[in-house]
Amino acid sequence: MSATLKTQLQDDMKSSMKGGDKKRLGVIRLMLAAIKQIEVDERIELDDARIISVLDKMAKQRRESITQFESAGRDDLIAIEQDELVIIQEYLPQALSEAEINDLVEQSIAATGAASIKDMGKLMGVLKPQMQGRADMGKVSQLIKSRLSS
């Protein structure tokens, strides 16, 4: 049986402490704190799927920050965010290629019979569980909009 994502994060935190990798340790602690916060707030134990959605949200926040820092010319902050993003992505499932994303969108459109923008919510409901943490859902949303409006 494979270890859960949370157990893996805790083990990696310990090895980062022992190895003196302060940057990695800080990011892992951030991830564990975000997971713990939800567990305390909702009084539940998060499963891997929910942990992936938390980490996916953290990765999205880093990507948005990088974009904002680029427009502000803050190269020092861009480097920090990119380093954090790389570490967070190590714990997310393998990213889908553009072809795989297109295939999943096409299959979902066929399966749901989506014909217009009004069916967007139904499509996203089908696609999100398959793509969570593996694709930028904002880009997927744009792809669906362009497909349904054509």
The pLDDT of residue 114 is 83
Percent of the chain with pLDDT over 70: 97
Q: How confident is the model at residue 2 (pLDDT cuts 50, 70, 90)?
A: very low
Q: How confident is the model at residue 150 (pLDDT cuts 50, 70, 90)?
A: low
Tell me the pLDDT tens digit for each residue of 40-87.
999 999 998 899 989 989 999 999 999 999 999 999 999 999 999 999
Q: What domains appear along the chain, each with residue ranges and CATH number?
A: 5-90 (1.10.1510.10), 98-149 (1.10.10.410)
Three-state SS sequence of the chain: CCCCHHHHHHHHHHHHHHHCCHHHHHHHHHHHHHHHHHHHHHCCCCCHHHHHHHHHHHHHHHHHHHHHHHHHCCHHHHHHHHHHHHHHHHCCCCCCCHHHHHHHHHHHHHHHCCCCHHHHHHHHHHHHHHHCCCCCHHHHHHHHHHHHHC
